[in-house]
Amino acid sequence: MSVYSYCSKSQYPQRAAKRMIGFQIFCYRHKYKLSTEVFCKRCGISPKELEKVELGLPSQGAPRWHSIRKVLESNNLQLHIELRSKEA
């Protein structure tokens, strides 16, 4: 299990967590050189959903936890994320 700590001044810690998880999924996919098509087929999601998960951009609609969970479970990825607010 990978453990990550994330400090943020964000008012929306869930959004920050989604971005962080998405980045780790992106790194995993590129580390093992998995193409988008193969990865999406394995996860059972569309390429558009994968893009939302990896980028986590609010302008494109934030990824849903359901999609994130599908990706993590289908690839047997385990992440433990601690969110702490950054002191001013």
Per-residue model confidence as pLDDT tens digits over 69-88: 899 889 888 876 666 666 54
The CATH number linked to 27 is 1.10.260.40
Give Cβ neighbours of residue 20 (< 8 Å, ≥ 6 apart). 4, 6, 81
For the chain, the domain total comes to 1
Domain range enclosing 29: 2-85
pTM as predicted: 0.73
- Take residue 46 and report the two structure tokens written for it: 């569309």
Q: How confident is the model at residue 2 (pLDDT cuts 50, 70, 90)?
A: low
10-65, pLDDT tens digit by residue? 666 677 778 888 888 998 999 999 999 999 999 999 999 999 888 877 666 677 88
